[in-house]
Amino acid sequence: MAVLIKKGTSKYWHAQYLVPTDKGTCVKVNRSTKETSKRKALLKAVEFERAALREAGAGNVKGRKMLAVLTRATEHAELGKLNVTKAREFMAEIVKIATGEDMPEYTVRTWTKEWLTRKSGKAESSLRAYRTNAKHFLEGLGEKADHTLESITVADMRKLRDWLQFDEKGERKSSVTTVNQKMKTASSIFITAMAEGITNFNPVAALEKLENDDKVQRKPFTKKEVAALVKHAPSEEWKGLILLGAYTGLRLVDCASLTWGDIDMTNEVIATLPAKTKRKKTVVRIPIHPALAKWLKTRPTAINPATQVFPTLSQYLGAGRNGLSTQFNGIMEKAKVSRGKSVQTGSKTFHEKSFHSLRHTLTSWLSDAKVPPEIRMQILGHKSEEVHAGYTHHQDHTLKTAMQSIPNL
């Protein structure tokens, strides 16, 4: 089952073959044939392998059995009948002899399912993304999803990427960012398989990342616009949610998921674990701005710390017609706050302004108040290495002073 390879800049073909050992395992041998002709090199490779196998044949029973399998494989190679499928059959025989266990056989579909089960410890938001991306990965491959991992080529991955990005009419159906994320998942599936010796090739690695030319630039709200949004909020919960987003910079899901256990009114600090950094357990501590504190004090005091601050709105965390993002867009419309320029990507439209703009708003306010960048990073949780236990009273005081430098609406 000798194969030929080229190494570096060498002009000679090198032989690669497996030889059984006394321990019942196999070792891979690399040896130069000193031949530039591929035909002559293959003949030498077969000679090398046969000599090595004859020498190994003096070993134990396992060694002799593996020798017989390798001899058959070599004969197939000489006759030009050795393909990837047949080679795997021979390898499976050798693994069975050496370990007593069957060699795992995976199709792209079965391995993807296995890969997903190994992600079970991830955050639920990450798991949802993995499941969706894996589903589209298999759908895009079509019939090839039921072929072996080794059969998937770079061309297949290029077709998959095109399928993810464009519909049958050639019109864009997904953003570049989305496509890149899905291809990253596909690459991870192959990388994990390579690490476990199931395949030796990642066809996604040969593709360059798509240049993102369709990403809309997020813009902050003005103070007047935030005041208008609060004024036109349809409920007390929405009023509080907007104030929370504006004065903490927390993302929409994190705002709506906040519990009373995250809020320390005595020390006027919010300590929470954002969904995006939940796996790394990166807690952010954010001083409570006076305007936000005033609203929080109007709410009923919860006995259970796990009680949601926004019990009604927390039921609409998903996307869709009744999701919080859609509801917020309606508030913007009533407040006559423009959503800014938009970019159409397939069925989705991205605007310059959305709830996430409140995060940019806080950044802008802190910058206008001359708050140092490192303090802004801590407040917004931008890759700060500080966690709850690592904060000192001095740091809390510094952050609180920075937050109070922002005037009320």
Which one has a higher pLDDT value, 393 or 152?
152
Q: What is the 3-class SS of 246-309, one letter each residue?
A: HHHCCCHHHHHCCEHHHEECCCCEEEECCHHHCCCCCCEEEECCHHHHHHHCCCCCCCCCCCEC
202 and 279 in a single domain? The answer is no
pLDDT value at residue 116: 95
pLDDT value at residue 382: 54
Number of domains comprising the chain: 3
CATH number assigned to the domain comprising residue 181: 1.10.150.130
142 and 282 in a single domain? The answer is no
Please tell me the distance from the alpha carbon of residue 343 to that of residue 212, in angstroms, as a whole number.
12
231 and 344 in a single domain? The answer is yes
139 and 93 in a single domain? The answer is no
pLDDT value at residue 169: 78
Look at residue 402 and tell me whether its pLDDT is greater than 80: no
13 and 34 in a single domain? The answer is yes
Range of the domain at 27: 3-99
Q: What confidence tens digit (pLDDT) does each residue in 240-280 have? A: 999 999 999 999 999 999 999 999 999 999 999 888 766 66
Look at residue 309 and tell me whether its pLDDT is greater than 70: yes
Q: How many CB atoms lie within 10 A of CB 19?
A: 19
88 and 118 in a single domain? The answer is no
197 backbone φψ class: left, alpha, beta (φ>0; ψ -120 to 50): left
Average pLDDT over residues 191-218: 82
The reply to whether 217 falls in a domain is no
307 and 246 in a single domain? The answer is yes
Mean pLDDT of the chain: 83
Per the document, the length of the chain is 409
The reply to whether 409 falls in a domain is no
CA distances from 32 to 9, 21, 42, 58 (A): 13, 21, 11, 25
288 and 314 in a single domain? The answer is yes
The reply to whether 212 falls in a domain is no
**Closest-CA residue to 198 (of 152, 230, 242, 245):** 152
pLDDT value at residue 390: 33
pLDDT value at residue 384: 41
Average pLDDT over residues 82-90: 73
Element (H, E) at 28: strand 26-32
Sheet holding 3-6, edge to edge: 3-6, 13-20, 26-32
For 5, the token pair is: 């390879």
Please tell me the distance from the alpha carbon of residue 171 to that of residue 173, in angstroms, as a whole number.
6
The reply to whether 218 falls in a domain is no
The reply to whether 211 falls in a domain is no
Contacts of 392 (CB under 8 A, 6+ apart): none
Q: Decide which of 99, 117, 143 is a domain's last residue.
A: 99
The reply to whether 347 falls in a domain is yes
pTM passes above 0.95: no
Dihedral of alpha carbons 187, 188, 190, 195, sign = positive
229 and 296 in a single domain? The answer is yes
Which one has a higher pLDDT value, 31 or 212?
31
Look at residue 401 and tell me whether its pLDDT is greater than 90: no
199 and 85 in a single domain? The answer is no
pLDDT band at 313 (very low <50, low <70, confident <90, very high): very high
266 and 352 in a single domain? The answer is yes
157 and 269 in a single domain? The answer is no
The reply to whether 214 falls in a domain is no
Tell me the chain's radius of gyration from C-alpha atoms.
30
Q: What confidence tens digit (pLDDT) does each residue in 338-391 have? A: 998 877 665 667 788 999 999 889 888 888 888 887 777 777 765 444 332 333
Q: What confidence tens digit (pLDDT) does each residue in 121-174 have? A: 887 878 899 999 999 999 999 999 999 898 899 999 999 999 998 888 777 788
Contacts of 362 (CB under 8 A, 6+ apart): 246, 247, 248, 249, 379, 380, 406
pLDDT value at residue 387: 31
Q: Decide which of 67, 99, 131 is a domain's last residue.
A: 99
The reply to whether 360 falls in a domain is yes
pLDDT value at residue 386: 37
Q: Decide which of 176, 206, 236 is a domain's last residue.
A: 206
Max Cα distance, the chain (Å): 89
